[in-house]
Amino acid sequence: MRFFGLEREQRKLVSIKQIPPFVVHAVLAAEDARFFQHHGLDPKGIFRALYTNLRYGTIRQGGSTITQQLVKNYFLSSERTFSRKIQEIFLAITMEVLYEKKDILEIYLNEIYFGQKDSIAINGIGEAALFYYGKEVHHLTLAEAATIGGLIRAPNLYSPYINPSRAMVRRSAVLQSMLRRGWITSEEFNNAITDPLEPAGYTAYGRKAPYFIDYLTKQLETLYSSETLASLGLSIYTTLNSQVQIAAEQALEKGLSRLETRHPRADDGVDPTQRLQGAILVMQPKTGYILAMVGGRNYNQSQFNRIAQARRQPGSVFKPLVYAAAMKSFSPASLLSNQPRTYHLDGKTWNPRNAQTDEKEIVTMREALAHSLNVATVDLAMQIGLETVVAKAKTFRLSTPLTPFPSLALGSSEVLPLELARAYCAFAADGLLPYPLSLHEVLDEEGNILERRHMTIEQVLSPGEAFLISSMLRTAVETGTGRDLKDLGVLFPVAGKTGTTNDFKDAWFVGYTPDILALVWVGYDDGTPINASGASAALPIWADLVKAIPQYHSGQWFRRPPGIITCRICPETGKKALRFGCPNPVDEVFLEEMVPQETCDRHGKFGPFNKFMESIKDLFNEP
Ligand SMILES: [Zn+2]
């Protein structure tokens, strides 16, 4: 996708002759109905305002004519004090003496503030018509004009994007005022009052993938000097893939609607900013290119980017980082204790529990990660040391604070979803941590590539370690917590991890292949429980997304890097399986230096004897 220049401020100037009378009347009805009668001040309005002020002791009501508002906009700070009010009145009278009414109105209509689109202020009615309805002023309908006129008083409060119900009420008031003054007929009134309130959407305002563009705008400032960006005629080539972006947007909306039907929220429909939210990031792991970014459900309602700005608890999607920190001393066959125990910290006690209580007491590391066993994962984190886990996670460039508490292993420290996805990229890219890039390159007017600031690409795991993590996360998808993926129609090999945080506040799935990585998050901004797990809420969205873009994943699995050895082991002991005698031997992959040397001592010839001795020991250990 090509992206031209930096939109900062846009102003589409319109002459008053281009503005239909009913649009002018809508603005007057909303702000200053007696504009053509008074002389810059409206005595009635001022009297009313002064009365209110005396009662409350502060300036409560505007009582401002259009001329006063314009004066305020141009010359004065917006502090609400009586002395400023006097200045404003004086300047308004001066202005009325110097200019004709229709000139003042024209300047006003081109100057006044109609709302905000992140860093961009919407000024002037021409810009407002485009922003709210995607059309020129002279194409506005009466109902649309009344909506736009009505929002001048408090643009963000009455915005049809942010507050549709308030915008409707305000629109009706403006239409009634127009009818009362004879500016519209009752037939026109009746038609307009029943019109649906349908803003065009920000995309009509010339922006696709709006969250991505916000991110890109910030990244440009990080990677290029401000002098470079100030030069004219730059062409910016982004990493966005519009097919992937559309697939991500559609998969998210479909998934969230499905969840809302299943778990309706009590106050749903009251405030659109409190709707169920979700976010998706799709990356190419080797390059770090961002192929799609959906920072929320509806950019019109909320520009907060839940991929790049939200700090959320990762829950179990954090676990692979714990296992990554253990790769120097543990192998997928290493045994972990999965027996619940109590941890004592600073006078408090903590009892991690597994989601299911019927789990085995001893498990291999592969089983622990695949089935997302909390007890065994905390056991592992405590064995390698929490400081080791924190230090390893820091090498993955997680910028949010990580508290070295045993619960860290279960993802209790908040992370930025973008940084989490980037960390997973290292598993998919031979241990190389990429830089999350939104742009390929920037060309100047002559087509020369402009040099950008240095970006770091770091080796955070050996290729062998990364391969083992991917291998274990593939088991998680095939037989562990992500096993529903098959039923959802994803049949090629995938590595992935589900996550569900305390009280079901967040649902996650991060899944990848050698070609593509996607992170899906679902939750409420205010932390209201969604009553659904990562597997039931986020996983189906991930499946819908990847099924819609078959051309972007080959279905191939990772090539085995040098130094990885396969060895048949006995999962009960984590040792080399006997040629005969171990009941469930499995092939396991190891780093060369970690291949088990000992042979199983539980089965075979000595097995029954050992088992007998152990049961004797257990007898004496009974309390
Ligand atoms: Zn055995």
Give DSSP secondary structure letters for 87-133: HHHHHHHHHHHHS-HHHHHHHHHHHSEEEEETTEEEESHHHHHHHHH
Residue 573 C-alpha to ligand 1 middle, in angstroms? Answer: 6
Catalytic (active site) residue 177 = no
| Contact assessment for residue 239 and residue 213, using Cβ atoms and an 8 Å cutoff | no
* pLDDT on residue 1: 32
Task: Label residues 2-27 b or e (16+ Cβ within 10 Å = b).
Answer: ebeeebeebebebeeeebeebbbbbb
Q: What would the mean pLDDT of 113-121 be, rounded to a whole number? A: 71
Instruction: Find the Cα–Cα–Cα–Cα dihedral 598, 602, 608, 613, rounded to 10°.
Output: 100
Query: Which whole number is the average pLDDT over 349-373?
Result: 92
Size of the chain in residues: 623
Q: How far is the CA of 483 from the centre of ligand 1 (A)?
A: 27
Closest Cα to residue 436, out of 252, 245, 219? 219
Tell me, in angstroms, the distance from the centre of ligand 1 to residue 449's CA.
Answer: 61
SS3 34: coil
Segment 237-242 shows an average pLDDT of 84
The 10s digit of each residue's pLDDT in 26-60 is: 999 998 888 887 765 555 555 454 444 434 433 33
Name the catalytic one among 64, 302, 316, 470. 316
In the predicted structure, residue 11 carries a pLDDT above the cut 80: no
Give me the torsion for CA of 33, 35, 40, 45, rounded to 10°: -20
pLDDT of residue 90: 65
Distance 90 CA to ligand 1 centre (A): 95
Q: Of 1-15, 93-107, 192-206, which gets the smallest average pLDDT?
A: 1-15
Residue among 285, 350, 357, 365 nearest 319 (CA): 365
Q: Which DSSP string do the residues of 359-413 spell out, in sequence order?
A: --SEEEHHHHHHTT-HHHHHHHHHHH-HHHHHHHHHHTT--S----SGGGGGT-S
DSSP reduced 3-state for 496: strand
What's the pLDDT score for residue 97?
A: 67
Q: Give, for 30, the enclosing helix (H) or strand (E).
A: helix 21-31
C-alpha 370 – ligand 1 centre gap (Å) = 21
pLDDT for the residue numbered 273: 67
Between the CA of 579 and the centroid of ligand 1 the distance, in Å, is: 10
The pLDDT of residue 120 is above 80: no
Neighbours of 230 (CB within 10 A): 10
Predicted local confidence at residue 446, as pLDDT? 78
pLDDT at 20: 92
Catalytically annotated residue among 31, 359, 367, 572: 31
Q: Is 31 in the active site?
A: yes
Please state, rounded to an integer, the average pLDDT across all residues of the chain: 85
Spatial contact of 363 and 420, defined as CB atoms under 8 Å apart: no
Distances (CA, A) of 14 to 11, 107, 115: 9, 10, 18
Q: Is 536 helix (H, G, I), strand (E, B) or coil?
A: helix
Please give the distance, rounded to the nearest whole angstrom, from the Cα atom of residue 217 to the centre of ligand 1.
58
User: Considering all CA atoms of the chain, what is the largest pairwise distance in Å, rounded to the nearest integer?
Assistant: 110
Report how far residue 319's alpha carbon sits from residue 613's, in angstroms, rounded to the nearest whole number: 36
CA distances for 94 relative to 249, 494, 519, 559, angstroms: 54, 72, 60, 79
Place of tokens 């005396």: 54
Residue 574 alpha carbon to ligand 1 centre in Å = 8
Q: How many other C-beta atoms lie within 10 A of the C-beta of residue 456?
A: 8
Least confident of 35-39, 316-320, 330-334: 35-39
The Cα–Cα gap between 424 and 534 comes to 17
Q: Tell me which range, 34-48, 270-284, 391-405, 572-586, is most confidently predicted by mean pLDDT.
A: 391-405
Tell whether the model's pLDDT for residue 515 goes beyond 80. yes
125-155 pLDDT, tens digit each: 988 898 888 888 999 999 999 999 999 988 8
Sequence-distant (≥ 6) Cβ neighbours of residue 368 within 8 angstroms: 336, 338, 376, 377, 380
* pLDDT for 95 beyond 90: no
How many angstroms separate the alpha carbon of residue 143 from the centre of ligand 1? 78
Give the whole-angstrom CA distance, residue 27 versus residue 104. 13
Q: Using the mean position of ligand 1's atoms as its centre, give its distance from the Cα of residue 5 in Å.
A: 65
Percent over 90 (pLDDT), the chain: 55
Query: Which strands form 495-500's sheet, in the order they lie side by side?
Result: 289-294, 277-284, 517-523, 506-512, 495-500
**pLDDT reading at 431 higher than 50:** yes
Residues whose CB is less than 8 angstroms from the CB of residue 232 and which lie 6 or more positions away in sequence, other chains included: 445
What's the gap in Å between 238 CA and the centre of ligand 1?
A: 54
Strand 113-117 versus strand 120-123 pairing type: antiparallel
CB 290 within 8 A of CB 212: yes
Phi-psi region of 578 (alpha: psi -120 to 50; beta: other; left: phi over 0): beta
